[in-house]
Amino acid sequence: KNLSEVARSVLGMTTTNLPTSAAEAFAALDHARQQKRAAEVAETLSIAAAADLYDIDRIRVCPDLEQLVPYGADGTPVLGEGLAMEVGGILGISPSNAIAMIGDVLDLRHRHPALWEAFLSGEVWFWQAAKITHECSQLTPEAVATVDRHTRIALQLGMRWTQIMYRLPAWIIEADPQRAR
């Protein structure tokens, strides 16, 4: 099947039963958006699981063949560099882009647990969560916990994404005033 056929089957459409009203088209659009979000969560959970489960048999393979590298910031596990080649090959991206993606997943899950839960529940898109993790990449895990607490409260209060990003620099300064100086 080509992607158009797959998309129509996800939406429950055929070439002969396309939406016949704006309301049906909007409902199909909403359904497609939910499917996109679910696919993004599934992809991210799969990367996290691959990171958890990836291992190299150092008895059967030369110990110097694969090095352990830090994919994420302080507080995330170091993993074999071959993981990026596996993930990159499946996603059709370069190993360096795969390293960045895996790092974003690890940072989100290990350093920002409240933001991780918000992503998993569909409150934020992955790109939004990754933007926050990038802004906090130089912070210690303890300082990140402060930012994550602020993020959780902001989301519970229903703050919009732009409001959260507006406040993020102040939260970072509060979390690590020494670095801010």
Looking at the predicted structure, is the pLDDT value of residue 59 above 60?
A: no
What's this model's pTM, rounded to 2 decimal places?
A: 0.85
Alpha-carbon span 113 to 152, nearest angstrom:
9
b/e string for 7-22 if b means 16 or more Cβ within 10 A? Answer: ebeebeeeeeeeeeee
Chain-wide mean pLDDT for the chain? Answer: 89
Mean pLDDT along residues 77-94: 94
Q: What pLDDT is recorded for position 50? A: 97
Q: What does the alpha-carbon distance between residue 51 and residue 31 come to, in Å, rounded to a whole number?
A: 30
Encoded tokens for 5: 């056929």
Band (85; pLDDT cuts 50, 70, 90): very high
* Residue range 110-141, pLDDT digits in tens: 999 999 999 999 999 999 999 999 999 999 99
